[in-house]
Each structure stands twice: as C-alpha cells, then as structure tokens.
Chains A and B, each alone.
Chain A
Amino acid sequence: MNADGQVLFEIRGLCKSFGNTLVLDHIDAEIRKGEVVVIIGPSGSGKSTFLRSLNLLEMPTGGQILFEGKDITDPKANLNVYRQKIGMVFQHFNLFANKTILDNMTLAPIKVLKKSKAQAEEEAMRLLKRVGLEEKAGAYPAQLSGGQKQRIAIVRSLCMHPDVMLFDEPTSALDPEMVGEVLAVMRDLAHEGMTMVIVTHEMGFAREVGSRVLFVDEGKIKEENTPAAFFDQPKNPRLVEFLSKVI
C-alpha cells in the first residue's frame, strides 16, 4: 500500500450536470498506483457519479480526466482501450444473466484481449478457486446468492488484468451476513497492491483498508485525509455531522 506510486488518475476541474442540476462541481483529485481510495458521503452527494466518471459511464460535462497520462475525456480517445484497464464492480453485480459464470468471466478476455478459449477458461477457473466458487463455473447468475454474485463480479473484472478497480457501493445490495465475504475478497486485493477506488458506507472497512478517505458532499470533495485522521479528527462541519449519523 504505497502511496508514492505513479499517478494513475489525474482529475482536473471535473464537472457533471444533469440538465440544470450540477452534480459534480469542479472536482480536482489524484489517484496513485497502489492506493486504496475510499469515497464516502451522503446519498445524492455525487460520489457514485464521480466514480462512474472515471471510466466514462458518465460523460463529464466539463474538466479533464487523465488516465496514465492520457486524456480520456478527449472525444477522439478510444474508450474501449481504457475501460479494459479499469475494472468496475457495481452495486447490483450486473452479471450477464444469459451467460454461465464461466462465460461471464471469459467473454471479455476472449473478445477483447483475443485470448484463446482454453487460456481464458484456465485463468477464470484459477480466479474462481481463489474466491472458493469453482463449483459454480457452470451455473447461471440467477442461481447464486448476492454475495456469491458480487465475488464473481470482482473476479470477472480481474480477468481483464485491470490497472485499477472501481467499486460502486459493492456491499449495499447485500444481506448483512454476505457483506463479510465480499469485503474479504476486496481486502485481499488491497493487500496484493491493487489500486482501488471504493464508494462505500462500510466505515470500518474504510478505516481498516483505505490509504486515503475522501468526503464528497454537494458535488465537491469537502475533506480528504488518512483514515485515522479522517475519522478521529474530522474538520469539515458537514463531515462531523455525517459521521455522527453513520457511526
């Protein structure tokens, strides 16, 4: 978890508005290789929109996002190339309902990275084993529990060997007893040095695993700090109020 690595994301003056509503208001931020950046904030604060902007699922209406030094907001940029390197895990898992677990994991490696089927399946099975779900390879998503689906979603992203993983409230749609199994996988990833940006309400996890915590409110980053300082000595009054409600 070193925070001195190269800059992966450089975000300059990022704005996003839906109609007349400004959701992101000139956000500047940097995310470095190896960091685990946790984003917290009240609902409607723009934290998910911010995360989704990083792989352009939301098109920014202003500002720039540089990924590994290249401007991905440039209209001429080939998004498919960048998105391969940016893994994304969604609140509602979004496993492909028409495909088996194994096909979910091998589709992109085969079609995008042009791997052979055997090679892609071998790697997928290895990753499935790692999260203890190898016996589900032939199952369909509808046959799995929420926690299992989310673990699959994480390793599906890993099949593309991303440089960074984005997590959009990965445990918010789970039954409480399934949260732990998903967080365990994420914790392992963090310990391996994966760069992660996580939007979550799991404060304990943020404190334990995060290398930096951002508080987003009203479309701005209102406070950012190391987890210890962030939770123990919050300065922004909105953050103090927010923390008093959720902890």
Chain B
Amino acid sequence: MEEFKLKFIANFITDDRWKYFTNGLGTTYIVSFFAIVLGVVIGVLIAVVRSTADTVERPPLVVKLLNMICKLYLTVIRGTPAMIQLLIMYYIIFGSVDVSKRLVAILTFGINSGAYVAEIIRSGIMSVDQGQFEAGRSLGLSYVQTMWYIIIPQAFKNVLPALGNEFITLLKETSICGYIALTDVTHGANTVRSQTYEPYMPLLGAALIYLISVSVLSALVTRMERRLRVNER
C-alpha cells in the first residue's frame, strides 16, 4: 500500500504531472467534440447527395457530379488509415503553414469520421418509408425542405445506435494525436511514463480515463435515443 502511494505521487503529483492528464483530456475532448460535429455535417451532406443520386429518376448533372466526388471521397478516406491521414494533413497539407495542431487533428478526424457517418446516415435515409417523402412533396414542400424537416430527423433516429458507435470509435481514435506531438490523454500518459520509467500507473490511468469517457458518451447517446423515441409510444 505504501508503495502504491509512492508511485501514485511520482506519477501524478510530482512536478504537477497530473497536468499532462488534465491538459491531455482537454485536448482529447475538444478534438473529439468538434470532429464529431464536423463529421456529422459532412456526413449528412454526403448522405443527401448520395441518396438523391440513387433515388431520383433523372438526377440533374450537378447531383451526378457531386455524387462522383462523394464516392471518391468515401473510397479514399475509408481506404487509408486515419494515422496516415493525420500525418499527411500535418506534414503535407499544412506542412508549410503554422497552424494549431488541435485544428489539424479536428479537421483530420472530422473528415475521416464524415465518411463513416455518411454511410450510416444514408442507410437511415433509405430506411425511411418512401410515403413520407411523397406526402411532403404532395403538400408543396420542396425536395430540400422534405429532406430537412421529415426524412433526416427520422433517418437520424433510426441510425442513432450506429452513430453512437461511430462517436465512440472516433473518441478512441484521437489517441493517435501524439504522432503530430499533440498532447492528448495518450500522449500525456506516455510522456509521464517516459519520465518516471513506470508504465503501469500512467497507462492504466489513461485507459481508465477513456473507459469513463466512453461510458459517459454512450450514456448520452442512450438518453438521446430514449428522448427521440417519444413519438413511437
């Protein structure tokens, strides 16, 4: 017990090492949150383009063109590791400009997640009864209005469990931030380990932090699911 206490002090108290964890946690949360938001925005846009191209009888040329761009995006993003994307974003795309590493991480993970969210939302849009769409159009609502007020809310509700899964994956995926020397929880814990030569406490501590964060996130998603299910009573 005495030994545990000493190790705890060495890893978390001495030299304010706890700051590695708290600052890292801040970064992890900020990057995850904005990446999720960015991912959902990108995902919804792509899902709408893709499902429009698939369901409309004679899609306009713009839609066909956008659909091709979306498919290319999906192929590239889903076909390469997130870590390579992060490195490319940092060393190539923003290689010659001085830009916040957090911003680089948000963009990378947002763009990455957008590809997965797009396919999830698209499956949700496809699962909404075609009659809902026809009812909207027959009342004079435009295509976009029908999508926005009728189809997407229902699609979103249908795929919320899958989306929650994607958010959890994203939160954990941000643990590769250290590769561009951005201090998130993982990088912070690893730094402490290299200073104290003591792997157990910092790494298990980081793991615990992720576990708690993911539990909270999935509890939030469950609560949202329950709230959206009101109209099924």
Contact = CB atoms under 8 A, between A and B. Distances in A.
Interface of A: 55, 57, 59, 79-81, 83-84, 86-88, 90, 92, 94-100, 107-108, 111-112, 140-143, 153, 156-157, 160
A213 to B, nearest CB: 24
Interface in B136-166: 136-142, 145, 149-150, 153-154, 157
Contacts of B142: 80
Interface stretch (B127-135, B186-194, B218-226): B127-135
B232 interface: yes
Contacts of B150: 96, 98-99
A169 to B, nearest CB: 13
Contacts of B233: 140, 142-143
A94 B132 CA distance: 5
A138 to B, nearest CB: 11
Nearest to B136: A96
Interface string B48-73: 00000000010000000000000000
Contacts of B135: 88, 90, 94-96, 153
A94 B231 contact: no
B230 interface: yes
Contacts of A97: 132, 154, 231
Nearest to B157: A98
B138 A57 contact: yes
A108 B142 CA distance: 10
A160 B140 contact: yes
B231 A140 contact: yes
B149 A55 contact: no
18 contacts: A55-B138, A79-B137, A87-B138, A92-B129, A92-B131, A94-B129, A96-B132, A97-B154, A97-B231, A98-B150, A98-B153, A99-B150, A107-B149, A111-B145, A112-B141, A112-B145, A140-B231, A142-B231
Interface in B186-233: 230-233
A98 B154 CA distance: 6
A31 to B, nearest CB: 17
A157 B154 contact: no
Contacts of A157: 138-139
B231 A83 contact: no
Given A92-B129, A97-B231, A140-B230, 4 more contacts: A57-B138, A90-B135, A108-B139, A156-B139
A87 B135 CA distance: 10
B141 A108 contact: yes
Contact of B138 (A59, A86, A92, A111): A86
Contacts of A153: 135
A111 B136 CA distance: 11
Nearest to A141: B231
A108 B153 CA distance: 16
Nearest to A82: B140
B232 A83 contact: no
Given A90-B131, A90-B134, A98 B139 contact: no
Given A83-B139, A98-B150, A111-B145, A57 B134 contact: yes
Nearest to A153: B135
Given A107-B149, A142-B232, A143-B233, A94 B134 contact: yes
Nearest to A112: B140
Which of A97, A142, A156, A160 counts the most chain B CB atoms within 10 A? Answer: A97
Contacts of B57: 59
A90 B137 CA distance: 13
A21 B19 CA distance: 72
A244 to B, nearest CB: 33
Contact of A112 (B129, B131, B134, B139): B139
